[in-house]
């Protein structure tokens, strides 16, 4: 059973494998991270952990029983009770409801553990899977955006107590 875990130093090798194995797949929807990302991965991972320690960001991985990373679910730019949500799933793990369930869990963590009251997320129109995950978790469109030259939709979700996954009281 996949488990959502807070990013830790011990995840570095599995996370790097996840990024390498899915690099071509991710580039279909979002800009490629570039070779420098992989060459300096250890330093980047350490910086993520440092940022997480300050509370400015909260990073999570969806990990299978063998310790392989199935997805990343990040809350970043935490300020004033809100944050941006970003996520990506391994190609082989899509279409099974795992991302929808993980985003639901992230919304609960954001409200109950991190004290947030609102999340924002954007997805490119060429990424219908992510748009579906957001809508199934009660995110509503709040505007159009351009994501690395691609048209997208910005979403928001209220995390107030008593608000259901659909965003209704």
Residues of the chain with pLDDT under 50: 164, 166-169
What is this structure's pTM?
0.92
Per-residue pLDDT tens over the stretch 75-117: 999 999 999 999 999 999 999 999 999 999 999 999 999 999 9
Neighbours of 34 (CB within 10 A): 8
CB–CB of 71/93 below 8 Å?
yes
Tell me the two tokens of residue 37: 């990302």
**CATH homologous superfamily for the domain 3-158:** Gcn5-related N-acetyltransferase (GNAT) (3.40.630.30)
Query: What would you measure as the largest C-alpha separation in the chain, in angstroms?
Result: 47
Give the residue extent of every domain in the chain. Answer: 3-158
């Amino acid at each position: 059973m996949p488990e959502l875990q807070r990013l830790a130093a011990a995840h570095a090798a599995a996370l790097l494998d996840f990024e390498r194995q899915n690099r071509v797949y991710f580039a279909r929807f979002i800009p490629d991270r570039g070779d420098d990302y992989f060459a300096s991965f250890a330093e980047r991972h350490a910086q993520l952990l440092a940022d997480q320690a300050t509370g400015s960001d909260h990073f999570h991985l969806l990990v299978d029983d063998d310790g392989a990373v199935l997805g990343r679910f990040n809350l970043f730019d935490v300020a004033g009770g809100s944050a941006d949500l970003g996520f990506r799933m391994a190609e082989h793990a899509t279409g099974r409801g795992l991302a929808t369930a993980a985003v639901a869990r992230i919304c609960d963590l954001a409200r109950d553990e991190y004290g947030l009251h609102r999340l924002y997320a954007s997805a490119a129109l060429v990424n219908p899977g992510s748009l579906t995950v957001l809508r199934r978790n009660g995110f509503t469109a709040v505007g159009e955006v351009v994501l690395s030259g691609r048209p997208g939709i910005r979403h928001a979700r209220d995390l107030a107590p008593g608000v259901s996954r659909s965003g209704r009281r």
